[in-house]
Structure 1
Amino acid sequence: MNVPHIMTPGPTEVRENVRLARSIRCTNPDLDYNFYDFYKETCGKIGALLKTKNHVRILSGEGILGLEAACASLTEKGDRVLVIDNGIFGEGFGDFVKIYGGEVVFFKGDRKREIDIEELKSFLESDSNFKYATVVHCDTPSGVLNNISLICPLLKEKGILTVVDSVAAMGGEEVKTDDWKIDILIGGSQKCISAPPGLTILSISDDAFNCMKNRKSDIASFYCNLLNWEKYYENKWFPYTPPISDIVGLRRAIDNMLEDEDILSRHEKIATATRNAIREAGLELYTEEGYSSTVTVIKVPDGIDDKKLRNYMVDRYDVMIAGSFGYLEGKVIRIGHMGENARIDNVSHVLFALQKSLEHFGFKCKCDMFSCFLREF
């Protein structure tokens, strides 16, 4: 199978040392007590990355598992839940809340901009009777980054638990879980962490666990029941058999990140240079305010079919970028510069391939995008 160079906003390229780590001989993770120590140590490393002393867990399932597990574990029938919505994934949190019987109240923001803190503050002054609130750190389909350093403390001041989807930002944007009062923070292995898809990463506060333990009704799930994970180490019992090879690979990927002292500044510099090159070429960014350092979202020029453009890039230049979905399907293309993809050579090559492909379909760029990009380094 020919695998193109993926420059999508997840999954991302996986470094060779991560691929090799996944190939080591397996033990029985349920019965080998050494693996419980390995798992706990790995969670500790993730906690250091996320700047938290909260409980950290690794679940077997793509990042969506974490979103549903948070809602399943916190929501009881009739609970009012605030869903902060300025994007497709932000709105999607409401579906999980409804599945478990919660009453969804949306706070809607401009989908091209980050959440307006003053508007949210005004909203909460009139209505703050919520069990918990959900917010997306980086809404990947649109590339909008929300300021969770302000949003979450504001919610906690009102006694509202905070659930943050940081799947597309964790590792590429700063996260200070404890300082920012985040009760449940959710990430995925395949984005900035640059491990293969298949794992959810969560940090869970004592407040969140206490809320789960004080429910009047049982959690309506087993696989999504986070309480099952609370005492895994003390009891030497996993709720289900962990995917050991995936977790060994994740450990190596986390070590790669911890060893990279400039990881956040690297993401920021590359994102800024990418956006500048896109603008200078005469293309238009979708996002107007609140730019993520992990993904750039570009409006498709008039007269160009995004699927044909992306397929041409794969066939001619062996580079894969992404379209989008929902209300953005066919309207934008997305470059993922996160994790292992956030390298100067990777991004300059994708900009070269994009420019040549655009020109093939009749759009004339006003500059050599890769040259404009490289000029900033």
Structure 2
Amino acid sequence: MLKVPYVMTPGPTEVRENVRLARSVRCTNPDLDAKFYDFYRETCKKIGELLKTKNEVRILGGEGMLGLEAACASLTEKGDRVLVIDNGIFGEGFADLVKLYDGEVVFFKGDRREEINLEDLRNFLDKDSNFKYATVVHCDTPSGVLNDLSKICPMLKEKGILTLVDSVSAMGGENLEVDNWKIDIVVGGSQKCISAPPGLSLLSISKDVFAAMENRRSPIKSFYCNLLIWKNYYEEKWFPYTPPISDIIALRTAVDNILADDGVLKRHERIGRSVRKAIIEAGLHLYTRNGYSNTVSVIEVPEGIDEKKLRKYMVDNFNVMIAGSFGYLEGKVLRIGHMGENARENIVVYTLYSLQKALEHFGFKCRCDISQLFLEEIHSL
């Protein structure tokens, strides 16, 4: 039997028991049973409630990357100019998806340790705003930088630019107001703050996006990544492919868990702030300088410590799994995911305790008791 550690990574996250049990219930044929079309639509409406939107919502059978690619595939035509707002690995990664569908990428580059500078972006757009759509990452998971969508997306829409947001690592753990913030497409994933099993993408799609897809000069170059074929699924009682019904039933329960928790965002905020305070007081350094996410904390690895060995020590001795990073941050940072079901005081305390013991094992002397300081801070908020 596989020994499963406490998964304190920035996704996948821990899954509540009622979600696991929901995934095991006896299922119907989702293609043929009209009642499942109602269930699917009701689940989409609940997700819309979570996202504060009246836009159409769809659940796709594939991890969050599917939703991101589907959005790019459905919007991008050969020669379309697309603004890629890049202040992190995932921000830059949008360019690969745009190029895959023959779009012309133009970058707006920000400091990768900071949230997007709004004045710099406005100055950039005043000089050049001829873009079909723009991409922006809500929380860049590898670095922990959170961008202010409430200011960025309305700024883009003022210029007539469609907005595509990656909120995979923030949706459910950070405030997200799709309609008020003029977001045309936002993409989430089941396995992060939503705390359901991996395997589903969640998207809200505006009328402007449906119009852009319908008025394309050329057909969408994909079937599986074609969002337009989902437009009338309910009226036609036809899914483009068989939905992963067990995953969707589990997702419904996970979304219900969030909607029933009036304090979910405040809980993430209190835990995020308290973790950051404890890390700094211990003599460690956060990677980001501002724009801190409440769903993930990214810590610079102290000099002389091998982060892979440290993380293995935590699993072997305390049964706690945290993450490293990748790309230009590989080997340089540690990441603690305090999102969704991970955003619980008791498990965060134990994670910080095990981190301190691992650091001390490899020669780093903390300036304080990290877990105790975390408790003191969170109880003062």
| TM-score bracket for this pair, using the shorter chain length | over 0.9
Describe how 1:212-227 pairs up with structure 2 within 5 A.
212-227=213-228
For residues 261 and 349 of structure 1, the distance between their equivalents in structure 2, rounded to whole angstroms, comes to 25
Counterpart in 1 of 2:67?
66
Deviation digits for residues 182-214 of structure 1 (CA, Å, limit 9, x no counterpart)? 000000000000000000000000000100000
For residues 102 and 140 of structure 1, the distance between their equivalents in structure 2, rounded to whole angstroms, comes to 25
Does residue 105 (structure 1) correspond to residue 106 (structure 2)? The answer is yes
For residues 99 and 250 of structure 1, the distance between their equivalents in structure 2, rounded to whole angstroms, comes to 30
For residues 174 and 6 of structure 2, the distance between their equivalents in structure 1, rounded to whole angstroms, comes to 23
- Counterpart residue type for residue 42 of structure 2: E
Q: Aligned-residue CA RMSD in angstroms?
A: 0.3
Please state whether the residue corresponding to 1:130 is helix, strand or coil: coil
Describe how 1:46-195 pairs up with structure 2 within 5 A.
46-195=47-196
- Counterpart residue type for residue 240 of structure 2: P
For residues 183 and 119 of structure 2, the distance between their equivalents in structure 1, rounded to whole angstroms, comes to 20
Counterpart in 1 of 2:306?
305
Does residue 13 (structure 1) correspond to residue 14 (structure 2)? The answer is yes
Describe how 1:219-298 pairs up with structure 2 within 5 A.
219-298=220-299
How much does 1:180 deviate?
Answer: 0.3
How much does 1:334 deviate?
Answer: 0.1
Please state whether the residue corresponding to 1:340 is helix, strand or coil: helix
- Counterpart residue type for residue 199 of structure 2: G
Does residue 2 (structure 1) correspond to residue 3 (structure 2)? The answer is yes
How much does 1:73 deviate?
Answer: 0.1
Please state whether the residue corresponding to 2:213 is helix, strand or coil: helix
For residues 214 and 234 of structure 1, the distance between their equivalents in structure 2, rounded to whole angstroms, comes to 21
- Counterpart residue type for residue 47 of structure 2: I
- Counterpart residue type for residue 334 of structure 1: R
Please state whether the residue corresponding to 2:325 is helix, strand or coil: coil
For residues 371 and 248 of structure 2, the distance between their equivalents in structure 1, rounded to whole angstroms, comes to 36
- Counterpart residue type for residue 244 of structure 2: P
Aligned residues: 377
How much does 1:166 deviate?
Answer: 0.2
- Counterpart residue type for residue 134 of structure 1: T
Does residue 375 (structure 1) correspond to residue 376 (structure 2)? The answer is yes
Counterpart in 1 of 2:329?
328
Please state whether the residue corresponding to 1:219 is helix, strand or coil: coil
For residues 364 and 125 of structure 1, the distance between their equivalents in structure 2, rounded to whole angstroms, comes to 50
Does residue 39 (structure 1) correspond to residue 31 (structure 2)? The answer is no
Task: Structure 2: state its 5+ residue gaps.
Answer: none
TM-score normalised over the length of structure 1: 1.00
Identity of aligned residues (%): 74
How much does 1:286 deviate?
Answer: 0.2
For residues 325 and 160 of structure 1, the distance between their equivalents in structure 2, rounded to whole angstroms, comes to 31
For residues 128 and 67 of structure 1, the distance between their equivalents in structure 2, rounded to whole angstroms, comes to 22
For residues 312 and 61 of structure 2, the distance between their equivalents in structure 1, rounded to whole angstroms, comes to 32
- Counterpart residue type for residue 289 of structure 1: N
Task: Structure 1: state its 5+ residue gaps.
Answer: none
For residues 371 and 13 of structure 1, the distance between their equivalents in structure 2, rounded to whole angstroms, comes to 23
How much does 1:273 deviate?
Answer: 0.2
- Counterpart residue type for residue 113 of structure 1: E
For residues 323 and 215 of structure 1, the distance between their equivalents in structure 2, rounded to whole angstroms, comes to 41
For residues 70 and 21 of structure 1, the distance between their equivalents in structure 2, rounded to whole angstroms, comes to 29
- Counterpart residue type for residue 70 of structure 1: A
For residues 212 and 346 of structure 1, the distance between their equivalents in structure 2, rounded to whole angstroms, comes to 45
For residues 333 and 277 of structure 1, the distance between their equivalents in structure 2, rounded to whole angstroms, comes to 15
How much does 1:331 deviate?
Answer: 0.1
How much does 1:311 deviate?
Answer: 0.3
Please state whether the residue corresponding to 2:14 is helix, strand or coil: coil
Please state whether the residue corresponding to 1:47 is helix, strand or coil: helix
Please state whether the residue corresponding to 1:375 is helix, strand or coil: helix
How much does 1:148 deviate?
Answer: 0.5
For residues 373 and 197 of structure 2, the distance between their equivalents in structure 1, rounded to whole angstroms, comes to 32
For residues 31 and 119 of structure 2, the distance between their equivalents in structure 1, rounded to whole angstroms, comes to 49
Deviation digits for residues 8-37 of structure 1 (CA, Å, limit 9, x no counterpart)? 000000000000001110100000000000
Deviation digits for residues 207-241 of structure 1 (CA, Å, limit 9, x no counterpart)? 00100000010000000000010000000000000
For residues 178 and 11 of structure 1, the distance between their equivalents in structure 2, rounded to whole angstroms, comes to 28
Deviation digits for residues 252-286 of structure 1 (CA, Å, limit 9, x no counterpart)? 00000000000000000000000000000000000
TM-score normalised over the length of structure 2: 0.99
- Counterpart residue type for residue 42 of structure 1: T
How much does 1:157 deviate?
Answer: 0.3
Deviation digits for residues 294-326 of structure 1 (CA, Å, limit 9, x no counterpart)? 000000000000000000000000000000000
Please state whether the residue corresponding to 1:167 is helix, strand or coil: coil
How much does 1:94 deviate?
Answer: 0.3
How much does 1:181 deviate?
Answer: 0.3
- Counterpart residue type for residue 220 of structure 1: K
